[in-house]
Amino acid sequence: MTPSRPFGRVLCAMVTPFTATGELDLEKAASHASGLITEGCEGLVLSGTTGESPTTSDAEKSALVRAVREVVGHGVPVVAGVGTADTRHTAELARAAERAGADGLLVVAPYYSRPPQPAVEAHFRAVADAVGIPLMLYDIPGRTGTRIEPDTLLRLADHPRIVAVKDCAYDLLGSTKVMARTSLAYYSGCEELNLPLYAVGGAGCVSTVANVAPRAVRAVLDAFDDGDTAGAAHLNQRLIHLTELMMSSGLPGTVTAKALLNTGPVRPPLQPAPASALPLLQSAHATLTAAQLPGGLPP
């Protein structure tokens, strides 16, 4: 059975470009967004973890949505991160993103206060009730300290505007259980699980690595869709070196992605990648992008 893909299949968790002095750079944001779509991404997620949402203002978040919406047009899904630890503030951001032109909302579990599951459920329902566009729930307990438990997701699936999950819970059993019993679209948020989650019924991925290697990220899922599971595994293995350097080297994916892109600095408390990390990142990226990719991708 083909899974529902309300926001496309290959989504990039886009970095937020800044100027050399740390201001929001909307011109670079628009250029990067346009390039990602040209190179094979089917949708964009703004102001998530990779987009440095904790250090961008409410006004910057809305301005980013408007700038990207304008450059990619209305045929490309744009999902705006609006999650905070405060239900009221999250609902306000959700309404602002909807007004700015977002197609959907990425809403993380409320963090720091570590609410129990009934409160987590109430939080998401309140946000979904505040808007007229669909939600992708962001389950990343390693950062929030709070899991969206599978049983909570089973209940939330009855809300007409809760349609997807960005899955960073590292629980394939729980994820498969929810996919089997609901119509929620599961998007991998962990690069190393993009192919495994897709193979058990996932809708696609929300990828940080796609900022620098969108064709390679897409090629894995394309091969699987073509029935070439061995080819998909091979392409995934070819991608894994860059993935490991970007996501598991002790540096945040935002930092490593920006080290490979001309999109300006990161905002404190993040710090730029040390000079010692750059040669390995650049070599792995160059090796991957120089490889011959299969046909069928945009030129």
Give the whole-angstrom CA distance, residue 7 versus residue 245: 28
E-strand ranges in 168-290 read 185-188, 204-207
The residues facing 164 across adjacent strands are 136, 185
Which residue do the tokens 């990207």 mark?
Answer: 68
Burial of 177 (0-12, 13-18, 19+ CB in 10 A): middle
Q: For 53-66, b where at least 16 C-beta lie within 10 A, e where not — what string?
A: beebeeebbbbbbb
Which of 195, 187, 175 minimizes the C-alpha distance to 243?
Answer: 195
Q: Is the link from the previous residue into 269 a cis peptide, with omega within 30 of 0? A: yes
Close Cβ partners of 35 (under 8 Å, ≥ 6 residues apart): none
Question: Of 28, 61, 138, 187, which one is the catalytic site residue?
Answer: 138
User: Does residue 186 carry a catalytic annotation?
Assistant: no
- What's phi and psi for 139, nearest 5 deg? -100, 100
Structure tokens at 62: 């809305």
Burial of 209 (0-12, 13-18, 19+ CB in 10 A): buried
Which residue do the tokens 């201001």 mark?
Answer: 23
User: Does residue 166 carry a catalytic annotation?
Assistant: yes
Give the whole-angstrom CA distance, residue 160 versus residue 150: 18
Question: Of 61, 111, 112, 166, which one is the catalytic site residue?
Answer: 166
Q: Which residues are known to be catalytic?
A: 138, 166
